[in-house]
Amino acid sequence: MTGPRARRRWLLPAVLVAAPVAVLSVFRAVPAAWPTPVVQLVAFTPWLVFPAAAAVLLALPSRRLWAVLPAAVLLAAQLLWLFPPDVLLAQHTGQLQGRGQDATAPAAELKVMSLNAKLGQADPAAIVRLVRENGIALLALQELSPALEKRLDAEGLDALLPHRASHPLNGAGGSGVYAARPLSPLDAVKGTAFYIPTLQLSLDAGGRPVALAVANVHAQAPVEGQAPRWRSDLAAVGSLAARPGNLLLLGDFNATFDHAEFRELLSGGPDGAAAAGSLVDAGVAARARFVSTWPRDGQVLPGVVIDHIVTSPHVFSSGYSVQAVAGTDHAAVLATLSIPAGG
């Protein structure tokens, strides 16, 4: 049998493992304007489930309720944050509501892909291959350079996706949206660090026209004291939730679901301005919180999901996947959307 002294030996390791999890959990749970280093740490919250589970296992042999119970609460919090029941159900209920509880209502299918091209260094052949092999009908690129745009056309992207709204620039500010169907400009999100255009994509659902508002998102990264700009960028993008009709936001948000600012964006801002309910993150709905989109270039860091496909609640998504692309530290994110007519 294990004596009292042997059981006590487990207490110190349990506390040492649980303490940093507890501190980071407070940062995650409290929606404060945390400084840049804290914002960066919160991005890695999904990985806390592993030390939280270890803390429980270490505390159990001690048979001390005061050690086991807090560790169990920490683990439960990580699991709830990883698999939020309300978000995981949002698409199903939203789909039914958005189609008037009629599963036979016409809808347009659209395969979409987003990629941060890392200052235009992403491999154009790899991008075009993903578009071709996955039947992508809408491609959003961030950090699109003039040189990359030319190389993409040379690889045949213009034949696959003949409609475009591009704003290529050297540096991080370029963007481009390529589509198989006609695009028309709407406006641009105001006050953001990078140019974030919004466009209207014209689709067809069984002979009925379908309009989809699309925003190619690139928010400021929370680095080197840029957390205030990062927050204002996310708030500006979140204002798009008030638009009626079908909405698609895709791109590099430089934020994870564990950031309160991103969750506020999904809810339409502090006042909940989303016209038809909270927006839905396709990756979260697909239970893909551990399928990282950054970094993908060999950095010794746990992966996080900062590239997103976000839709209005009545737009249903399926087939979510993350694909590596040579030359960039971001992965491409892909999904198939079902967009209801009259949404």
Q: What is the DSSP string of 271-306?
A: TT--BTB--EEHHHHTT-TTS--B--SS-SS--B--
Domain extent for 228: 86-340
**Residue 9: which pLDDT band, with cuts at 50, 70 and 90?**
confident
Residue matched to tokens 């075009």 = 128
Instruction: Check residues 299 and 242 and name the one with the higher pLDDT.
Output: 242
Please tell me whether residues 136 and 272 are part of one structural domain: yes
Task: Specify the number of domains making up the chain.
Answer: 2
Are residue 103 and residue 68 in the same domain, yes or no?
Answer: no
Same domain, 238 and 313: yes
Q: What is the mean pLDDT of the chain?
A: 90
For the entire predicted model, the pTM comes to 0.91
Specify whether 18 is located in the same domain as 159: no
What is the pLDDT averaged over residues 225-238? 96
Give the CATH number for residue 136: 3.60.10.10
Q: In the structure, what pLDDT confidence band is assigned to residue 7 with cuts at 50, 70 and 90?
A: low
Note the pLDDT tens digit of each residue in 119-168.
Answer: 999 999 999 999 999 999 999 999 999 999 999 999 999 999 999 999 99
**pLDDT, tens digit, 9 for 90 and up, residues 268-315:** 765 555 544 689 999 999 999 999 999 988 777 889 999 999 999 989
In angstroms, rounded to a whole number, what is the distance separating the alpha carbons of residues 158 and 242?
Answer: 33
Q: Which of 82, 114, 145 is the last residue of a domain?
A: 82
Region at 258 (left for phi over 0; alpha for psi -120 to 50; beta for the rest):
alpha
